């Protein structure tokens, strides 16, 4: 009986560890390198405050679809817990949880609160990317 429980527990550990390993391949963190703004590719910058529910929800929304738009748009966070992120947010009047779309030259185009609905968020992104002729 003890051997059976031990084998079941070991199998569970292997399954959980394998699942965590497999998902890590797809869960790449969003960059906070703001130097990419204006380097030729349109960029969506999220003003992000660590431990904020609004920021966390917005980040989850972007993470759910950013790989689908990676060939057209860079996704970056302005980490409000760092001097660079704070300066960027002040310069563009971004509050926690707001996103700013910039063209390839770094010209600000639109500040918006991201939709909590994935379909609406995709529509928002596609509309803005259409304006950039992408």
What would the pLDDT profile of 44-54 be if each residue is shown by its tens digit? Answer: 999 988 888 87
Which has the higher per-residue pLDDT, 52 or 75? 75
CATH code for the domain of 125:
3.40.30.10
For the chain, give the mean pLDDT: 81
70, part of any domain: yes
- Determine the pLDDT at residue 24: 40
Residue 29 included in any domain? no
5 domain residue, yes or no: no
Which residues make Cβ contacts (< 8 Å) with residue 60, sequence separation at least 6? none
Asked whether residue 107 is assigned to any structural domain, the reply reads yes
Q: Tell me how far apart the alpha carbons of residues 34 and 79 are, in angstroms, rounded to a whole number.
A: 10
Q: Does residue 63 belong to any structural domain of this protein?
A: yes
- Residue 132's nearest CA partner among 72, 67, 71, 70 is 72
Domain of residue 65 covers 34-131
pTM equals 0.74
pLDDT, tens only, 79-130: 999 999 999 999 999 998 889 999 999 999 888 888 778 888 888 888 888 8
Q: Is residue 85 part of a domain?
A: yes
pLDDT at 78: 94
Mean pLDDT score, 13-18: 53
Taking Cα atoms as reference points, which of 104, 106, 100 lies closest to residue 133?
104
- Residue 60: beta bridge partners? none
The answer to whether position 28 is within a domain reads no
Does residue 94 sit within a domain? yes
Total tally of structural domains belonging to the chain: 1
Q: Which residues of 87-116 are buried (b: 16+ CB within 10 A; e: fewer)?
A: ebbeebebebbbbbbbbbeeeeeeeeebee
Partners of residue 112 on adjacent β-strands: 99
Q: What is the mean pLDDT of residues 25-50?
A: 84
């Amino acid at each position: 009986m003890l051997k059976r429980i031990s084998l079941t527990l070991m199998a569970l550990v292997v399954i959980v560890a394998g699942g965590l390993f497999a998902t890590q391949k797809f869960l790449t963190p969003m960059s906070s390198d703001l130097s990419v703004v204006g380097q030729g590719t349109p960029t969506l910058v999220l003003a992000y405050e660590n431990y904020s529910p609004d920021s966390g929800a917005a980040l989850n929304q972007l993470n759910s679809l950013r790989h689908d738009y990676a060939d057209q748009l860079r996704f970056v966070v302005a980490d409000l817990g760092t001097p660079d992120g704070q300066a960027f947010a002040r310069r563009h009047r971004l509050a926690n949880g707001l996103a700013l779309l910039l063209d390839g030259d770094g010209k600000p185009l639109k500040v918006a609160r991201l939709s909590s609905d994935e379909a609406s968020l995709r529509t928002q992104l596609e509309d803005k990317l259409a304006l950039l002729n992408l």
